[in-house]
């Protein structure tokens, strides 16, 4: 969104909030894409954010929290009651939810976690450092048994109805959940229905141990042009998957640090690529 338009929208949003026109403020936010919503939210003060976020649907609020910088999202959620936050966290991707809960006061995080319909999707992700493969991965993935047929696999995908667009290839596991191979969506579609995944899969899988540094994960995905990277434990058990959108965040953070060093700017709260021009200009120094 262009700087002038964003500035103008921010002025309209603040005017609506000053008049207690929450309906009008909500309509302004809803007309924007999530990245622009987050940039606008970041420009509001804490009280304005706390007032406006609960007026949006849980799904819209989840999109905004996922786009905000981690510390900004945590500061906002810290001001909200658990019963307001729980429906929002339910709409977040498990890895994003874990990142948020890990930045909250433990008592508040426990209260939110206890209220989730399926905390088991998030709990394992809280055990790993944020800057590791375990902290970067999501538990939202489909693992297919190597004995399944192509027809069974397609049915499993249909039943799962994944929201992610990165389901280009899938991971195959054995009976002990050890990573055995990968199979592409195209392979499943063109294969004979009775063929097993063991016969279809590529057994040479690129994976990373759960403790691998996030920047190393990003470099591996960039080097091998991967859209998803499986994360395994010491026994090669599949624990989670790192998706390309998470790696982009890591690469953006690295780029931000480099740009700040070379550009003579004071530190940014958010990544360079997610920071509007009108924010960047205020960060410049002589």
- Residue 73 has a pLDDT of 93
- Listing DSSP states for 256-280 in one string gives HHHHHHHHTBPPPSS-GGGS-HHHH
8 pLDDT more than 50: yes
Domains and CATH numbers, the chain: 3-127 (1.25.60.10), 129-286 (3.10.580.10)
User: pLDDT tens, 98-115?
Assistant: 999 999 999 999 999 999
User: pLDDT tens, 135-181?
Assistant: 889 888 888 999 999 999 999 888 887 665 556 678 999 999 999 99
Q: What number of residues does the chain have? A: 286
61 versus 247: which is more confidently predicted?
Answer: 61
Q: What are the backbone dihedrals phi and psi of residue 148, each rounded to the nearest 5 degrees, phi first?
A: -70, 150
pTM score, two decimals? 0.70
Q: What angle do CA 214, 220, 221 make, to 5 degrees?
A: 90
Q: What is the phi-psi region of residue 225: left when phi exceeds 0, alpha when psi lies from -120 to 50, beta otherwise?
A: left
Element (H, E) at 172: strand 169-173
284 pLDDT more than 50: no
* Structure letter (DSSP) for residue 267: P
């Amino acid at each position: 969104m262009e700087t002038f338009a964003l500035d103008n929208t921010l002025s309209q949003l603040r005017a609506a909030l000053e008049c207690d026109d929450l309906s009008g403020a909500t309509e302004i936010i809803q007309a924007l894409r999530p990245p622009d919503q987050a940039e606008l939210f970041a420009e509001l003060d804490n009280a304005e954010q706390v007032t406006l976020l609960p007026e949006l649907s849980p799904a819209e609020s989840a999109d905004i929290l996922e786009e905000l910088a981690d510390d900004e999202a945590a500061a906002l959620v810290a001001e909200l009651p658990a019963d307001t936050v729980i429906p929002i966290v339910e709409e977040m991707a498990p890895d994003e939810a874990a990142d948020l809960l890990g930045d909250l006061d433990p008592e508040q995080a426990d209260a939110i976690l206890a209220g989730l319909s399926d905390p088991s999707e998030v709990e394992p992700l809280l055990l790993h450092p944020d800057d590791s493969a375990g902290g970067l991965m999501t538990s939202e993935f489909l693992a297919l048994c190597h004995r399944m047929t192509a027809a069974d696999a397609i049915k499993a995908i249909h039943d799962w109805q994944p929201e992610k667009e990165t389901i280009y290839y899938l991971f195959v596991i054995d009976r002990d959940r050890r990573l055995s191979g990968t199979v592409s969506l195209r392979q499943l579609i063109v294969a004979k229905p009775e063929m097993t995944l063991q016969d279809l899969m590529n057994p040479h899988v690129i994976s990373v141990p759960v403790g691998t540094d996030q920047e190393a994960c990003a470099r591996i995905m960039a080097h091998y042009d991967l859209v998803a990277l499986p994360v395994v434990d010491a026994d090669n058990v599949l624990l989670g998957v790192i998706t390309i959108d998470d790696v982009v965040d890591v690469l953006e953070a690295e780029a931000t640090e480099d740009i700040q060093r070379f550009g003579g700017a004071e530190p940014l709260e958010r990544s360079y690529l997610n920071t509007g021009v009108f924010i960047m200009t205020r960060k410049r120094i002589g």
